[in-house]
Amino acid sequence: MKHKKPLKLFELAIVKHAITSSFEKLNPLYLLKNPVMFTVEIGTAIMFVVSVITAINQRSGQGSFVYNFVITFLLFLTLLFANFAEAMAEERGKAQAASLRKAREDTPAKLVESDGSLKIISSSVLKKGDIYLAEAGDTLPADGEIIEGLASIDESAITGESAPVIREAETDHSGVVGGTRVLSDRIKVQVTTNSGESFLDKMIGLVEGAKRQKTPNEIALTVLLASFTLIFLFVTVTLFPFAFYLNTIITISALVSLFVCLIPTTIGGLLSAIGIAGMDRALGADVIAKSGKAVENAGDIDTVLLDKTGTITIGNRKATNIFPINGADKSVIMKYCYLSSISDSTPEGKSIIELVEKNIEIKNGEYENAKFIKFTAETRMSGVDLPDGTQVRKGAWDAIKNYADKENGVLSQAEKVVTEIAENGGTPLAVTVNKKLLGVVQLEDIIKPGIKERFERLRKMGVKTVMVTGDNPLTAKYIAMKAGVDDFIAEAKPEDKMNYILKEQQEGKLIAMMGDGTNDAPALAQADVAVAMNSGTQAAKEAANMVDLDSDPTKLLEVIEIGKQLLITRGNVTTFSIANDVAKYFAIIPAVFSISIPALNVLNIMKLSSPQSAILSAVIFNAFIILALVPLALRGVKYKPIGASALLRRNILIYGLGGVIVPFIGIKLIDMVVSLFFH
């Protein structure tokens, strides 16, 4: 991407904040929502008491004070590392949000009072519904919708894109964002959010551990981890009476260490960081999600609806040729084309003017007193009524076909031209004069470079792409084929999107779409993942569950990957965490019983040097593996679209098998170092 320098993984200021906040998060009331780490805190407290007792009473049978104290300290570190992971994710999210928000703080707003007078107030006191005026050079004080005028706006503060954009009242591009700057003209804007309630503020809530709502998947995982924790509680606590029966004494430090090592602290410690980091990545991609669930859902998307224009093709169609029909004179047709397009402000209309001006000269007087007919969705035609009564109409082929005189041969001749244009990916526009068909304009699309590869990637993820276009089916089919989309909706009316979504949802599929216009709002509300462009109308933004600050229609693809990454990271760390237990059993069980049941020493397959160092090594490994995996949690596991089974195989190999092997090596290495201190 073109803008903002990306946040470094460990920015010094962020790390400092995170360290402070890791201590604040030790508050048991806060930790209570994370059952795994909460039990570690209880374990730490128990070990602290044991340390104190061994300091006072050397003969308590609980081992030396130093040993107990070291274990206590290591458990404390385990807690801190887990808190640090969460704090890092939080701070990074806040930093990202802050840089987006910086621009809008305390900008003066020109409030338009009810009597029309202006009053300068601070942006922070603007309320929803207020109207403010912004002129060239002003920074917009709040999010809102233009109700009067049009302006070119520099949105680079938010999107990093330096080219100014045009925002205009009563169009699909009427939304403006606080913090951006007006470059020309003046607009009146109605505030759409109370300060503190803007989307960005909502997003900041999502990256704060304390306020964050857990997503359903995360809740399920938390419950499962809590269940494992409880199981290991039974496993370790019952060891005490078992040992008692066998006339063996197990020290409290050994039991607590075993417990903390067995419970899934790695995933327990990183779970919340992984969730927050997912939001961070969304923010990093300039997407503001209204809930964590929306980002997670994105990973499940089966079908994506994409508008052709701007997403699949670059900008708009351009007129590239004009074909006369029935032997009409080309320059005459060109003139009529020109006339019919003067009031047509659509990009297509403008491109026709461009094409004609290149070829023939048009005198200004020719369209004086003409009556311009605007394009409507009903007639799907536009044109002009000249003072001499000549009616020029230009429009989509199927509309013109019904409208024009059904002259012998003419229609079929035109039909041939139209079909040829359409088959080659062009869009035909027919031109009539007094209902007589005179010519066909060829409009052509240019497909974005690289878009085909992105669709290929989506297909490999199992996501179906659907192109939505107003084009006729033939053109649509050609572009669909060229761009590599799976399906298309041609001649789409606003309700078609909605119907397609309903149909797919009926089959149990999850649909994502991107939209900007007010008429997209119902479909956005119905879609499972709906991304509204920031340049879109307020209605669209309200209906969507994400807002893309860049207004980049291909952003959906990134959001889907972020969603998948989020789940994969969670799953992989869980698997790694559970697989670690194998090695930990083999480290601690022989250590606990080695003196009273020497036979069990056979299980010490790592040949750890002494029982104390074995337990210490396992606890050290357990604590530092959390720290070691913080970058992974923050960055997320890279997603590779290689099909579910292949992906699972790969992840089982890396995180499952790796999770079994790594601790064997890690604990052995740590033991070699630790044992130096025992001699």
Residue 261 touches another protein, criterion: CB under 8 A? no
CB 22 within 8 A of CB 80: yes
Could you give the dihedral angle defined by the CA atoms of residues 34, 545, 449 and 323, in that order, rounded to the nearest 10 degrees?
Answer: 170
Taking CB under 8 A as the rule, which mask of x and - marks residues 597-616 in contact with another protein?
x-xx-xx-------------
Residue choice 32, 66, 98, 230 for contact with another protein (CB under 8 A): 230
Estimate the share of the chain in helix, then strand, then coil, as percent rounded to the nearest 5.
Answer: 55, 15, 30
Residue choice 1, 32, 210, 246 for contact with another protein (CB under 8 A): 246
Q: Distance between terminal CA atoms of the chain? A: 56
Residue 226 touches another protein, criterion: CB under 8 A? yes
Residue choice 361, 368, 388, 507 for contact with another protein (CB under 8 A): 507
Residue choice 283, 294, 567, 629 for contact with another protein (CB under 8 A): 567
Q: Which stretch binds another protein (CB under 8 A): 13-21, 32-40, 232-240, 357-365?
A: 232-240
Q: Which stretch binds another protein (CB under 8 A): 73-81, 91-99, 104-112, 578-586?
A: 578-586
Q: Give DSSP secondary structure letters for 106-123.
A: T-EEEEE-TTS-EEEEEG
Residue choice 138, 155, 296, 548 for contact with another protein (CB under 8 A): 296
* Residues from 545 through 564 that contact another protein (CB under 8 A): 563-564
Q: How far apart are CA 121 and CA 114, in angstroms?
A: 15
Half-sphere exposure of 50 (CA within 13 A, CB side): 25
Least distance from another protein to the Cβ atom of residue 35, Å: 11
Catalytic residue among 138, 143, 300, 307: 307
CB 434 within 8 A of CB 391: yes
Residue of 665, 650, 630, 640 lying closest to 14 (CA atoms)? 630
* Residue with smaller CB distance to another protein, 129 or 241: 241
Instruction: Please name the amino acid found at residue 577.
Output: S
* Catalytic annotation present for 471: no
Q: How far apart are CA 180 and CA 103, in angstroms?
A: 8
Residue choice 381, 461, 485, 634 for contact with another protein (CB under 8 A): 461
* Residue with smaller CB distance to another protein, 239 or 256: 239
Residue 572 touches another protein, criterion: CB under 8 A? yes
Residue 585 touches another protein, criterion: CB under 8 A? yes
Q: Hey, what are 422's tokens?
A: 């359409």
* Residue with smaller CB distance to another protein, 380 or 457: 457
CB 656 within 8 A of CB 579: yes
Residue choice 193, 195, 351, 574 for contact with another protein (CB under 8 A): 574
Residue choice 11, 105, 185, 302 for contact with another protein (CB under 8 A): 302
Q: How far apart are CA 541 and CA 292, in angstroms?
A: 17
Q: How far apart are CA 530 and CA 304, in angstroms?
A: 10
* Residue with smaller CB distance to another protein, 108 or 598: 598
Residue 428 touches another protein, criterion: CB under 8 A? no
Q: Which long-range contacts (CB under 8 A, 24 or more apart) does 543-546 make?
A: 544/290, 544/515, 545/289, 545/290, 545/291, 545/294, 546/282, 546/287, 546/288, 546/289, 546/290, 546/294, 546/295
Residue choice 125, 644, 669, 672 for contact with another protein (CB under 8 A): 644
* Residues from 620 through 639 that contact another protein (CB under 8 A): 639
Residue 578 touches another protein, criterion: CB under 8 A? yes
Residue 213 touches another protein, criterion: CB under 8 A? no
| Residues recognised as catalytic | 307
